[in-house]
Amino acid sequence: MRTLICHVLLADGTGRTPEPGAVLLEDGLIAEVGHPAAGADCEVVDCGGRGMLAPGFIDAHGHSDLSGAASPACFGKISQGFTTEISGNCGLSPFPLTECNRAHLNDLYRQYGIALDWTDLNGYRNLLQRRGVKMKLESLCGHNTLRAAVAGYAQKRLSVGQLAEMGRLLEEMMGQGALGLSSGLLYTPGCFADREELVALLRVVARRDGVYATHLRSEGAQLLEALAETLDAARAAGVRRVQISHFKTAGPSNWSKLDAALELMEQARHDGIQVGCDRYPYVESLTQLSVVAPAPWETWDDTTLSRWLADRRNEAAFRTALTARKRDWSQVRLASTGVSACRRFAGMPFTEIAAVRGDDPEAVVVDLLREDAAGTMAAFRGMSEENLMRILALPECCCGSDESARPVDDSIGLSHPRGFGSVPEFFRRLTAAGMPVGEVIRKLTGLPAARFGLRDRGLLRRGMAADLVWLDPERFRSGADFRNPHRPAEGVLGVWIDGCRVYGGTLDGRRS
């Protein structure tokens, strides 16, 4: 099948200023760029001089590993222009699976109704193919999943044999196409890893010229130490590409650390490491509510915590310790939960939920963790608007939604507004600040493709995958917020993946 998209500005993904032209698609690839003519057998999409055509946007940091299979249309992502997602982030990937981690991950992903019955990346890809997932999911191998596959979720130093087995499994997953290693050193069991463990695994990544993407051990009080740890391990292992996931300075007392963090990253570049980052364009983060657990429970996995709180005799000690931390619950929102009685509170701060229930916020938190620690997500406000804009504007910063692909409804849970609005907000903020449109498009396309080694996409160039977005820049905006997080973006006129139109025009992503 041949398709000609014509009479439109072309933003080619290199950073150049968009210019008028046309693109010819054939057999899932870009056949010609510039001013190709339509043949007799060619479908013509005449844009009438409206908007611009760009390579499909690449979500540099997503979590659609299982949500994409549960909702194959991937509507929330595709409707804002994403055609590829880098998944397997924050140390969590749905492979490799063994009897040491399978039950835990089945519980973690239970909201999607998919039994994790495979063992490796090949098996996981077979699931995506069987389900007909529209968006392209390119995965990293998650360190937490990898460690748990060998040693479970308990706090322990790994033996020489266990470390060797982790390296063997990582080598196997990268041989099957994993782009590299991700870590989530804030989470169990990744938080138990020492330098020796990280360097050993990163040597595998270096041998295969993969990328290391990391959710730092701290994004707040120990931000600089955590960043130095990552860059030191990369140097020791010889890793060439490092991606700092959802780069931020969390908490007002840490906002002043951005300059020092940027200096550490620049020094690493002088040392030969290609250090980049991704960021969602919001100042509220999203993660499991269980991260609020005080010591000694902060290192427990979610399943263990729920089971322990199910014994009401344990509740008092946990609640007392939680209260003693004096968290400002007005700055924490419930984003989504599997607890049916509390789903109506999604989008509300915990102080408001507590007022409705006639209780205190800590009691609400305990109830949610008891019933659904694995599935309850919360948004935390504590980032600087000024730092956000500085990070977004960095030449090495890609757009990463840090979200799962969702349908319009809440059948598999509600997302942060970034699940439907990351790209339009990223685009709006940067163009409003004076960044040229061509450069913004590069940060959404060519930059993440190069960072993650995706040589077949990210540019409007002959031979590249025919993944395209037709966009009206004047109308491109997001209406999603925490009360209505699943509002589709405005201004996306068409999306093609491998030459097939999957969104816009006569095709509606909610029905396709």
- pLDDT of 506 strictly over 70: no
Q: Is the dihedral of CA 71, 169, 303, 361 positive or negative?
A: negative
Mean pLDDT of 422-449: 98
Contacts of 220 (CB under 8 A, 6+ apart): 249, 250, 251, 253, 254, 382
pLDDT of 324:
95
First vs last Cα of the chain: how many Å apart?
19
Q: Is the dihedral of CA 209, 215, 221, 222 positive or negative?
A: negative
The model carries a pTM of 0.93
Q: Which amino acid is at 100?
A: C
pLDDT of 334:
95
pLDDT of 267:
98
Share the mean pLDDT of the chain. Answer: 95
Longest dimension (CA), the chain: 76
Q: Check if the beta carbon of residue 274 is closer than 8 Å to that of residue 242.
A: yes
User: 391 — phi, psi (to 5°)?
Assistant: -70, -45
| Residue 231: band (very low, low, confident or very high) from pLDDT cuts 50, 70, 90 | very high
pLDDT of 402:
97
- What residue spans of 176-222 are helical by DSSP H? 195-207
pLDDT of 193:
97
Structure tokens at 34: 């510039």
The SS3 assignment for 222 reads coil
- pLDDT of 512 strictly over 60: no
Q: Check if the beta carbon of residue 477 is closer than 8 Å to that of residue 40.
A: no
Q: Check if the beta carbon of residue 387 is closer than 8 Å to that of residue 277.
A: no
- pLDDT of 40 strictly over 90: no
CA distance 48 to 421: 26
Residue with tokens 């209406």: 479
Alpha-carbon distance values, 230 to 61, 152, 285 (Å) = 18, 23, 21
The SS3 assignment for 24 reads strand
pLDDT of 505:
57
CA 227 from centre of chain: 19
The one-character DSSP state at 12 is -
Among 81-95, 238-252, 333-347, 448-462, which is the least confidently predicted range?
333-347
- pLDDT of 308 strictly over 50: yes
CA distance 365 to 378: 10
The one-character DSSP state at 468 is E
pLDDT of 38:
82
CA 163 from centre of chain: 27
- What residue spans of 238-357 are helical by DSSP H? 258-270, 302-309, 315-324, 350-357
| Residue 1: band (very low, low, confident or very high) from pLDDT cuts 50, 70, 90 | confident
pLDDT tens, position by position, 2-21: 999 999 999 999 999 999 99
pLDDT of 24:
97
pLDDT of 422:
98
Among 362, 208, 214, which residue's Cα sits nearest to residue 277? 214
pLDDT tens, position by position, 233-282: 999 999 999 999 999 999 999 999 999 999 999 999 999 999 999 999 99
Among 424, 400, 397, which residue's Cα sits nearest to residue 481? 424
CA distance 215 to 140: 13
DSSP string, 325-352: T---GGGEEEEE-S-GGGGGGTT-BHHH
Structure tokens at 444: 């959404």
Q: How many CB atoms lie within 10 A of CB 500?
A: 16
pLDDT of 41:
86
| Residue 28: band (very low, low, confident or very high) from pLDDT cuts 50, 70, 90 | very high
